[in-house]
A and B are shown apart, each in its own frame.
Chain A
Amino acid sequence: MSVASIPHSSSGATTKPAALLEQFIAKSPYRAMLEPIAADVERVALHNNQIQAALATLASQPGFRPGGWLRRPGADERAVRAFLEFVAFASPAFLSSVGEWPMGQIRG
């Protein structure tokens, strides 16, 4: 199922993948690093085959909401969490904290 084909219900029965991703970010322990770059995170997520499919699957589950980070998640939820963690550690906020932002091209 493509992202575009996921129906959105104002009753909250199902959620658009992009909106679902926002919920994941809001629940993430890395939200401070992710929220400033949320638009880029969404774009990259929906470009990635696995994460796009995972979000579509989760969004099609009526009433699904990202759980707390102590709950044991399923495979799709684990993939989305791992993706967000990856992006967080590749974010300007994290790379700044280790002295590697801005990257630019020259690292000499």
Chain B
Amino acid sequence: MVGTGAGGGVLAYELAKAGLNVVSLEQGGRLPADHFRTTDRPGAATDFGVRAGTVWPSDPHDSLFVHELFAGADTGSAVQRPGGFRQYQIHAVDGLQSLWNGVSVRFSPGDLAGWPFGYDELAGHYAAVERRITVCGTAENIPELPDGDYIPPKPLRPSDRMIVDAVRRLGEQDAYAIPNRKAINTRAGMETSCISTGICTSGCPVGSVYKFSARLLPEIANLPNYELRTHAKVVRLLRDGDERRVEAVEYIDTRTGETRRLRAGLVVLAAGAIETPRILFNSADERDPAGLANRSGQLGLRLQDNPKAVLSTSLWKLWGKRRNYDIGYGDLLILMARTGLPDGEAFPFIGHAIHGIPDAPHYLGGLAPFPAPVKRELARLMFHSYVTLGLFCAGDPNPANRVRPGRQLDRFGVPQVEIDFTVSARTRDMMQAMAVWGRRVLRKASATSIYETSDNSGTGIHYAGTTPLSADPAQGVINADLRSHDIDNLYICDGGVIPTLPDKHLTLTIMALSHRLGRHIAARSGRDQLQAA
């Protein structure tokens, strides 16, 4: 198993619990359990919220992307070009889930159009994962957002109620503002009970937001049939005489620089929609010079991320209010709606209303025109009034947006991939249309000045599409079982398998696919088919 994030974590748990011999290879190390409680606390609790890479002036909507855990250009999967696609990776156990926001929504039946199986096939796996990782939320009976198995969310705050009311007053049949669905333990009295930091994307101090190392790894870490091998950077997959079987995984021990091989009866790549194609491209040999599992020529094509519009404001009706409520996990609302493009075509989008404690004062740019004494008073007056809407629409499955082999080497001498990515005029129109809708909501909620950005350069961090599912070997990299069309003992389970990225966050679906794959592999193993294959 390569990777310990959303896909690799759930799958390692399922397979180890089923009794299979499992080794998880993880490029990075394991953060201390108290890392986000002592070393790197959320918000301004550590070093006033100033990091080594914080810059002035800066875009407040970019503050989430300044974090020491994100991989640098010399270790990332892809070559970073100025103005190009920005890939965010975390090389540590849990991967990107180290800083995961926890949003856990199901895809709808319509979102699975074109997949080799339907929603009914996935529903039971969604439910199993929701119970395993603990998702808070409410049943709403919205066809486009199927309900799940939830524990109660935290109570809405005054700002949330203002946004709910503003959405209702739009009078749009397809517009919703409902409690968020997040993989957070909101139940009281437990070691991992949510402690209401107001923000999840800085890392959870108590492991309340699901991540492999906090929840599932402790249950399998001491099993004799499970091993977590950290600092193991996978370079390529190796075949022996059988062209349809992987024999071993070659990796570098990043602490010693030694190259090692791990023989495996079955390999699962769960390294993400950019790193997984990189490994496959770097596994090219004489028999498959275009990369392993790429006889269809589909590997790396259609890289997608959710285009987004982000709007921040101060609600004047909250000016001067002191906080007498639980700040919770910051983004307590999901927003859903449909809006239209200039040509009249309607499209759906989803997002959040975020209200946290601005102890790290990224709002100061908006107060720039005022002299210091006035700024101080305004900052006090407005402190508990800030709301941000982050709205996401479907990715653009353009085959020209792709991951392809590159020549530049990373710090370990491994070829990085190149990313070709352009944002279409239609995508720009979609982001603009979402922003228009967001402004209407905020104005109805007593917005003052609105600060707005939009982006589709990788900052959604929902990478998908590069190793797509398809029943047709000519159209995809993997089949309905997530198994390579070309290699019989190679599986893929990360965002890359999602052929067309809908508006909704993909993480829960990756985990449901992992759960399903775990059951498939366990059954296959039980039938002794591994030996026969």
Contacts and interface: CB of A to CB of B under 8 A. Distances in A.
A108 interface: yes
Contacts of A44: 47-48, 50
Q: How large is the interface on B (under 10, 10 to 19, 20 to 34, 35 or more residues)?
A: 35 or more
Contacts of A97: 380
Interface in B375-404: 376, 379-380, 383-384
Nearest to B360: A90
A47 B52 contact: yes
Contacts of A48: 50-52, 54
Q: How large is the interface on A (under 10, 10 to 19, 20 to 34, 35 or more residues)?
A: 20 to 34
A50 B383 contact: no
A108 B327 contact: yes
A9 B43 CA distance: 39
Contacts of B52: 47-49
A29 B56 contact: no
A82 interface: yes
A100 B47 contact: no
Given A100-B357, A107-B196, A86 B48 contact: yes
Name the residue among B48, B357, B360, B361 with the largest chain A CB count within 10 angstroms. B48
A50 B197 CA distance: 28
Contacts of B364: 82, 85-86, 89
Interface in B279-331: 322-323, 326-328
B45 interface: yes
Contacts of A108: 195-196, 326-328
A61 B28 CA distance: 42
Interface in A4-58: 29-30, 40, 43-44, 47-50
B260 interface: no
Interface in A68-108: 69, 78-79, 82-83, 85-87, 89-91, 94-95, 97-100, 103, 105-108
B372 interface: yes
A82 B368 CA distance: 10
B187 to A, nearest CB: 13
Nearest to B326: A108
B53 interface: yes
A61 B218 CA distance: 56
Given A44-B50, A107-B196, A107-B197, A90 B326 contact: no
A67 B323 CA distance: 38
Q: Is the interface of A mostly helix, strand, loop or mixed?
A: helix
Interface in B40-77: 41, 43-45, 47-57
Q: Is the interface of B mostly helix, strand, loop or mixed?
A: loop
Nearest to A98: B383
Contacts of B376: 30, 94
B373 interface: yes
B380 A69 contact: no
B37 interface: yes
A30 B323 CA distance: 25
Nearest to B45: A103
A30 B376 CA distance: 9
Contact of A79 (B56, B198, B379): B56
Nearest to A41: B48
B375 to A, nearest CB: 8
A47 B384 CA distance: 30
A80 to B, nearest CB: 9
Given A100-B359, A108-B327, 18 more contacts: A40-B48, A43-B47, A44-B47, A44-B50, A47-B47, A48-B51, A48-B54, A50-B56, A82-B57, A82-B364, A86-B50, A87-B48, A90-B44, A90-B361, A100-B323, A100-B383, A105-B37, A105-B205
22 contacts: A29-B372, A30-B376, A43-B47, A48-B51, A50-B54, A69-B372, A78-B56, A79-B56, A86-B48, A86-B49, A86-B360, A87-B48, A89-B361, A90-B44, A94-B376, A94-B379, A94-B380, A95-B44, A98-B322, A98-B380, A99-B322, A100-B383
Interface of A: 29-30, 40, 43-44, 47-50, 69, 78-79, 82-83, 85-87, 89-91, 94-95, 97-100, 103, 105-108
